[in-house]
Each structure stands twice: as C-alpha cells, then as structure tokens.
C-alpha cells in the first residue's frame, strides 16, 4: 500500500512468512527483516538506523511465535519526501502487515511532532517546518491503549515538552487509526 | 571540473517489459532534470544556488526510446511490448532503440530465434510509429509539468496517485469461471483414494521422544548390506578401543576379511571404462 500524508509517499511491500535462510532463521519466532530504500542514491547509514527502528516496532506487534523458522521481509521504497518520513514509513509498514494478514497483537501508527523555537507543537510537519524546528520527535503509538512503542528524537527538548508532544501525538493517533479503518473497509467491502 | 550525473531507477511493479519502461523513465528524468547554473570567468568558476539563479536543463540532443518485440514459434508470431506471462514463454527477444528522427540507436537480439532481414525491417517500422507516439506523449507531459510549476499548481508524484494515473498500483483482476467448481470438487473427492490410516496415538519412549506410526523397511538392497558392514566395522573399532592391543588387532583383521569379500560394484555406464567403487580404507589403528 502507498501512503502519503501531504506529499510524502512511501510504498510498502511485505513478503512472508516464507522460508528463511539457515543463517537467518530463529528457532522459536519469525525473523523480521526491513529494507528501506531512499528515493535517491544507495541505502546508507541513516536508512540502516531507520530500518532497525521499524524492525523493532514491528517485532513488538507481530506474533512471531506463530510462525517459527520463517522470514518476514518488509521492503519500503521512498517515493517522495516532504517531511515526516519516518512516521509515514511506520504507517505504511502497519498497513502492509494488515494487508498481508499477518497475526498482530495490536496495530500501530507513526506521528511526528516538531517543536518550534517558541515551544509551539506542530504535528506532521513539512520538510521546511522540520528544518526550522528546535526538536523533531517521532512516536510509534499502539492501537489498544495508545501506549508508546518507539520514540526517536532529533534535537533537544525538555521532559515536559516531550510529555506534551506525546499527549498531542496520542490524540492524533486516533485520526490515523480511523483512516486505517476507513481504508480497510473500502478495500474489503467490494 | 565536470558535472557528474546519477540516475536512480526504482522498479515499483514488474508486469513485463521493464526495458521499455525503464528507457522511457530514464530519458524523461534526464529531460526533466535541472542543474545549478554556472558561470566561468577565466580560471574562476561560480556555481549559483537554485535560489540565486534558476537551474538550467541538460542539453539533450535526442530521445532514444526502446521498443521490445517477443517472438514465438521460430519467428511465426510477433508480439510488441510483451507482458510478464508472455515474456516467460517467449522464444526470442528483439529490442530496438530509436529516436523520433527514425535513427536506430540500439538493436539487441537474444533467445533461440533466427531472425530474417525483412522481419527486422518490419520491427523497425513498428518501432518508428511507436516512438513517434511516445515522444509526443513525453513532450506533452513535460510541458504540462512546466506549466504547473510556473503557475504554482501542484505537481509531482504524490499528485498523480489519487488520480489513478500510476498504473503500478493497479492490479487487473482476471475473471475466473467458478460455475463448475462445486461439481469438479465433488468428482475429485469421489475418485480419490481414501486418506491413509491416521496414527493418532504417539508412543512416548522417553520424555521428549515420541514415535508416531512405524517406519518402513529400507529397500536399497546391495548398498544396504555394505553399509551395514561398514557400520559393523565401525562398531567393532569403537568397542575394540576399550580392550588390550592384541585383541584389537585380531578384531581388526577379522573385520578386514569381511570387507574383502565384497565384490567391487561395477556401474554399466556407456562409454566409460570399468568403474570401481572404492570401499573406505581401514584407518591405521594407534595402539596404546
């Protein structure tokens, strides 16, 4: 599925659970692998770090114990980047997991917050807003109790500000989960 | 000092003929690209940022576009722009790259088909027609984009998605006739053998080891005998290690005689000389 809040687009493809290579298989769980391909150039260190963050978030929700010794591969291709890329990737990943019918214990969504120099919180910032912000925080929020699955911060902010951003993100998560519901309803109602 | 240009192509969906699609994508990307403006005064080179001066396009002399042809049945059938299924079963492939001035830039032929001259001429005529159409499409698209950018409208990849313009995201559903499925399934079940006996009770040997059903006899014949003897001599060796030296030697010799009894197994492969299978050699025993 292709997800684009504003003008950021990420295409996600999920393959699995399929047979894993001997070197990669885990005896009790499915081995999850994430590949993030940037729009221009070859994947570098930043992509590797994003891949690990996505992988750990997905592993927290996927019931890997139901498919031991298999490999689940998630490939994300960045089509265009106009800000909030990581949360777009998180949303695309969750929709891919849903679309493929993998067993999950909950859904998750990604929300990005930008903290302006004056302390104003902007959700899902554009590339320009991200650049001008003092800190950019991305949260992966789970669907059952709106708990935090993963946090990434770029820049510096105080603990109170982070709590405020988190509260705002949790409220925004509702909109995203409603979007999941609507798109799935559309897809399966034909 | 020169500019280095890098073209990254991402394949979103492979439904056949990626060569053509990639060639169009590549040439359009190069035509669309704008590089920073530069001014050279003697030895001094100034590179302007996009904010200072509008970036300039690359100088593209012509636009070569590939067209692929798939051949079937030794050249009897010809398909232009094959789909994935057609590609998989084709006999031969001919790729012609041409520009709108009807100049052939590349010809590549692969596969097991021998092509005749007039076939290739026919293909190049088809290519000329196709390339003219595609080049016109490309020019129009570039103009539209240029206009949209000047007038401040929205453009780019994200815009094309909601309008269903990107066919990579569309999946054509093939209609399947399911009228007779119920009958067919019933027939298959009636004709099939009943499922083999199900062993529902596993026998527990020790905690952690269970046996379900009984294994079948190994039916390899000759090979099995020599294997058994090899297994016997290995067993003999390991037991012998616990005994004194002399006793081990006698055991060894007795085992040796057993193996010598085996005839070398000769395979009757056509032109080859007598093939002899070597039995594994007895390892020299280290006496304590």
Find the CATH number of the domain harbouring A80. Answer: 3.30.230.70
Q: What is the pLDDT of residues B222-255, one digit of tens each?
A: 555 555 554 444 444 444 444 444 444 444 444 4
Separation between Cα atoms, residue A97 and residue A67, nearest integer Å? 14
CB atoms within 10 A of CB A106: 13
Separation between Cα atoms, residue B59 and residue B30, nearest integer Å? 9
With residue B225 as reference, give the H or E element that holds it: helix B222-240
Q: Answer whether CATH 3.40.50.720 is correct for domain B18-154.
A: no
Q: What is the pLDDT of residues A26-69, one digit of tens each?
A: 999 999 999 999 988 889 999 999 999 999 999 999 999 999 99
pLDDT at position B12: 85
Supply the ipTM of this predicted assembly: 0.70
List residues of chain A with CB under 8 Å from any CB of chain B: 2, 4, 6-9, 11, 37, 39-41, 77, 79-80, 82
Per-domain boundaries in chain B = 18-154
CB atoms within 10 A of CB A124: 21
Query: What range defines the domain where residue A15 resides?
Result: 2-189
**Residue length of chain A:** 190
List the single residue in B6, B12, B156 with the smallest CB-CB distance to A80.
Answer: B156
Q: What is the pLDDT of residues B36-70, one digit of tens each?
A: 888 888 888 888 888 888 889 999 999 999 999 99
User: In DSSP terms, which residues pair with A104 in a beta bridge?
Assistant: A62
Of B204, B209, B254, the residue nearest B233 (C-alpha): B254
Tell me how close the Cα of A1 comes to any Cα of chain B, in angstroms.
8
Asked whether A75 and A97 are in contact (CB, 8 A), the reply is no
pLDDT category at B188 given cuts 50, 70, 90 is confident
A8–B10 CB contact, under 8 Å: no
Tell me how close the Cα of B8 comes to any Cα of chain A, in angstroms.
6
- Per-residue pLDDT at B173 exceeds 80: no
**pTM over the 0.95 mark:** no
pLDDT at position A58: 92
With residue B78 as reference, give the H or E element that holds it: strand B77-80
DSSP state of B80: E
Separation between Cα atoms, residue A15 and residue A73, nearest integer Å? 5
Tell me how close the Cα of A79 comes to any Cα of chain B, in angstroms.
7
Separation between Cα atoms, residue B120 and residue A161, nearest integer Å? 70
Separation between Cα atoms, residue A42 and residue A48, nearest integer Å? 11
Q: What is the pLDDT of residues A136-168, one digit of tens each?
A: 999 999 999 989 999 999 998 899 999 999 999
B12–A11 CB contact, under 8 Å: yes
pLDDT at position B261: 45
A41–B8 CB contact, under 8 Å: yes
CB atoms within 10 A of CB A156: 9
A82–B158 CB contact, under 8 Å: yes
3-state secondary structure of A59: helix
Separation between Cα atoms, residue B105 and residue B173, nearest integer Å? 37
Q: What is the total count of domains within chain A?
A: 1
């Amino acid at each position: 599925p292709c997800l684009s809040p504003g003008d950021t687009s990420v295409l996600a493809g999920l393959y699995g659970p399929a047979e894993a290579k001997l070197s990669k298989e885990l005896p009790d769980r499915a081995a999850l692998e994430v590949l993030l391909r940037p729009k221009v150039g070859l994947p570098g260190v930043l992509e590797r770090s994003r891949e690990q963050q996505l992988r750990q978030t997905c592993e927290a929700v996927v019931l890997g114990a139901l498919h031991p010794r298999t490999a689940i591969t998630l490939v994300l291709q960045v089509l265009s980047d106009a800000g909030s890329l990581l949360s777009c990737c998180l949303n695309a990943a969750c929709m891919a997991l849903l679309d493929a019918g993998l067993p999950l214990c909950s859904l998750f969504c990604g929300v990005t917050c930008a903290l302006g120099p004056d302390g104003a919180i902007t959700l899902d910032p554009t590339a320009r807003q991200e650049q001008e912000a003092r800190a950019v925080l991305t949260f992966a929020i789970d669907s059952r109790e709106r708990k935090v699955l993963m946090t990434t911060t770029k820049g510096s902010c105080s603990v109170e500000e982070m709590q405020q951003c988190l509260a705002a993100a949790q409220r925004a998560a509702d909109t995203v989960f409603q979007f999941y519901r609507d798109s799935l309803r559309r897809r399966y109602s034909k | 000092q020169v500019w280095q240009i890098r073209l990254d192509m991402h394949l979103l969906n492979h439904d056949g003929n990626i060569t053509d699609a990639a060639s169009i994508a590549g040439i359009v990307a190069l035509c669309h690209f704008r590089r920073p403006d530069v001014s050279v005064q003697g030895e001094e080179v100034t590179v302007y940022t996009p904010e200072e001066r509008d970036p300039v396009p690359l100088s593209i002399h012509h636009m070569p576009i590939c067209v692929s042809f798939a051949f079937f049945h030794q050249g009897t059938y010809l398909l232009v722009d094959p789909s994935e299924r057609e590609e998989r079963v084709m006999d031969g492939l001919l790729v012609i790259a041409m520009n709108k001035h009807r100049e052939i830039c590349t010809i590549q032929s692969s596969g097991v088909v021998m092509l005749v001259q007039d076939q290739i001429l026919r293909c190049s005529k088809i290519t000329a027609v196709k390339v003219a159409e595609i080049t016109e499409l490309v020019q129009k698209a570039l103009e539209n984009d240029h206009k949209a950018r000047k007038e401040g409208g929205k453009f780019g990849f994200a815009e094309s998605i909601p309008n269903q313009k990107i066919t990579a995201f569309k999946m054509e559903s093939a209609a399947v006739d399911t009228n007779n499925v119920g009958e067919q399934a019933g027939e298959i079940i009636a004709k099939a053998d009943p499922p083999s006996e199900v062993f529902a009770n596993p026998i527990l040997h020790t905690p952690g080891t269970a046996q379900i059903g009984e294994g079948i006899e190994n039916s390899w014949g000759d090979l099995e005998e020599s294997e058994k003897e090899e297994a016997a001599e290995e067993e003999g060796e390991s037991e012998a290690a616990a005994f004194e030296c002399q006793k081990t030697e006698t055991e060894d010799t007795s085992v040796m005689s057993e193996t010598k009894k085996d005839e070398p197994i000769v395979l009757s492969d056509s032109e080859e000389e007598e093939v002899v299978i070597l039995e594994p050699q007895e390892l020299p025993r280290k006496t304590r």
